[in-house]
Amino acid sequence: MAKIKFTFEDKNIAPVNVDNAEEGFSILEIAEDNDVHLNHNCGEVCACSTCHIYVNKGNEHLQEISDREEDFIDRAINPRLESRLGCQCVILNPDAELEVLIPDQSRIIGHEH
């Protein structure tokens, strides 16, 4: 099983370690299954940027970024080189070790699990 360490820009939220992330699932799906707060509005179809995250470690173990995803990342708040959309980050390696930073979501109106 893959491992994901979720940290948050909002320092009032404690880090969450997930040790049972399955290959073939997206970071957004894993976040939802483990009660990790990550807004999402479009139903995981890459049509918005509310599930914007920073993948600080392990990007090589994720599905490659698409042109469509890049277009929506450009619309996110504070995009950086390590920006991805949680709904598009499908884990490809069952032994992956990922570190994901979830940006401050207080300015985003979005669906929570």
CA distance 13 to 100: 14
Q: What is the pTM of this model?
A: 0.91
CA distance 17 to 21: 10
Distances (CA, A) of 63 to 12, 36, 87: 31, 21, 11
Buried b (16+ CB within 10 A) or exposed e, 74-104: eebeebeeebbbbbbbbbeeeebebbbbbbe
CA proximity to 49, closest of 60, 38, 59, 35: 38
Q: Does domain 2-94 have CATH number 3.10.20.30?
A: yes
CB-count burial class (<10 Å; 0-12, 13-18, 19+) for 24: exposed
Whether the Cβ atoms of residue 85 and residue 72 lie closer than 8 Å to each other: yes
pLDDT by 10s per residue, the chain, length 113? 999 999 999 999 999 999 999 999 999 999 999 999 999 888 888 889 999 999 999 999 999 999 999 999 999 999 999 999 999 999 999 999 999 999 998 776 655 54
